[in-house]
Amino acid sequence: MTTSSSERGVSLGMPQLPAPGYPDDVRARLESDAREIVARYPDSRSALLPLLHLVQAEEGHVTRTGMQFCADVLELTTAEVTAVATFYTMYRRKPSGDYQVGVCTNTLCAVMGGDAIFEELQEHLGVGNGETTGDGKVTLEHIECNAACDYAPVVMVNWEFFDNQTPASAKRLVDDLREGRAVEPTRGARLCTFKETARILAGFPDERPGAVEESGSAGPASLMGLRLARGETAPARVVHPREGGPHEEPRDRAVHEPSPAEHLSSHDAPQESSASDPAHPAGPVAEEGE
């Protein structure tokens, strides 16, 4: 018995119709913003990345209409625009939530508990990778390196950092996002929606009062190498010396108590991140060769 192409899910129909245009008022507003973006570059083609962020800020993801708009503004083909929009993972290709929650599952974050965090968030939220909760609040995804290995495991929300996470702290984080409670990242300005984030990434100023001042700088762990290079005294070791046992206190050194500036987030994990995987605690547990 044979099956038809339609029964096999194969489409042999007409090519997809051209994308619909934006309403006149929306297009006029976007064209004004686009002119400002294009004027920043000696070659207009270089404006494609921020223009994709601009159209993403309009609808929450990069639509066919948005790509057609970018092509029209820059006098490119839609194929050229699509090639770029599909290459970079920061551009969403389907509707997504107000908060993009990305769990790093690259090597260091994974072994420190990132895999456990991602698995528990999927179960807790009832969604898979790249899927959005029914209330439209949270889109969950696993992502590659967040360039924050010194704070592993790391979760990002709309590209703001939440460091040293555990499954418990990550679940509390997404619950607060869904309930509309105040959420403060470990580093950076307070959260805004994904659409607002996209507009900032397009190169427009963050107009929220005080947001720029909140952005801060690198955290203490990130600056440790610089401080050592300058000859500054290092704080107590995070990992015990190899020649000592796991219970030996650092010698000739005061215990380092974190300052409030080292834990700015209301959602930092309440304990060492290794607790997210109790079977694999951080630090050596025996001498080499034993």
Task: Say if 59 falls within a structural domain.
Answer: yes
The CATH number of residue 31's host domain is 1.10.10
Same domain, 142 and 177: yes
Write down the pTM of the prediction: 0.71
CA angle 47, 48, 49 (to 5 degrees): 95
Task: Say if 182 falls within a structural domain.
Answer: yes
Task: Say if 225 falls within a structural domain.
Answer: no
Only one residue has tokens 């083609």, namely 45
Same domain, 79 and 119: no
pLDDT > 90? residue 251: no
User: Quick one: CA dihedral 67, 69, 72, 74, positive or negative?
Assistant: negative
Task: Say if 226 falls within a structural domain.
Answer: no
Same domain, 134 and 61: no
Task: Say if CB 98 and CB 137 are below 8 A apart.
Answer: yes
Task: Say if 179 falls within a structural domain.
Answer: yes
Question: Using CA atoms, how far apart are residues 278 and 46, in angstroms rounded to an integer?
Answer: 48
Question: Using CA atoms, how far apart are residues 280 and 270, in angstroms rounded to an integer?
Answer: 18
Maximum distance among all alpha carbons in the chain?
82
The model's pLDDT over 1-38, given as tens digits with 9 standing for 90+, comes to 555 555 555 656 666 778 888 999 999 999 999 999 99
The model's pLDDT over 33-85, given as tens digits with 9 standing for 90+, comes to 999 999 999 999 999 999 999 999 999 999 999 999 999 999 999 999 999 99
- What six digits make up the tokens of 210? 């005080």
Could you tell me the residue range of the domain that residue 174 belongs to? 99-192
Same domain, 103 and 78: no
Task: Say if 168 falls within a structural domain.
Answer: yes
Same domain, 79 and 111: no
Amino acid at residue number 149: C
Report, as an integer, the average pLDDT of 203-220.
Answer: 77
Cβ neighbours around 112 below 10 Å, total: 26
Please report, rounded to a whole number, the percentage of residues in the chain having pLDDT higher than 70.
Answer: 74
Please report, rounded to a whole number, the percentage of residues in the chain having pLDDT higher than 90.
Answer: 52
pLDDT > 50? residue 274: no
End-to-end CA distance of the chain: 66
Same domain, 111 and 175: yes
192, 218, 246 - which closes a domain: 192
130, 159, 192 - which closes a domain: 192
pLDDT of residue 266: 57
Same domain, 64 and 104: no
Same domain, 129 and 183: yes
Same domain, 82 and 106: no
Which residues contact residue 73 at a Cβ distance below 8 angstroms, ignoring those fewer than 6 apart? 31, 34, 38, 47, 51
Amino acid at residue number 68: Q
pLDDT > 70? residue 174: yes
Q: Which residues pair with 101 in a beta bridge?
A: 140, 157
166, 192, 218 - which closes a domain: 192
Our count of domains for the chain comes to 2
Question: Using CA atoms, how far apart are residues 19 and 254, in angstroms rounded to an integer?
Answer: 65
pLDDT of residue 187: 81
Same domain, 146 and 182: yes
Task: Say if CB 70 and CB 47 are below 8 A apart.
Answer: no
The CATH number of residue 179's host domain is 3.40.30.10
pLDDT of residue 280: 46
Same domain, 115 and 171: yes
Same domain, 69 and 103: no
Task: Say if 208 falls within a structural domain.
Answer: no
Task: Say if 199 falls within a structural domain.
Answer: no
Query: 247: phi > 0 → left, psi -120 to 50 → alpha, else beta; which?
Result: alpha
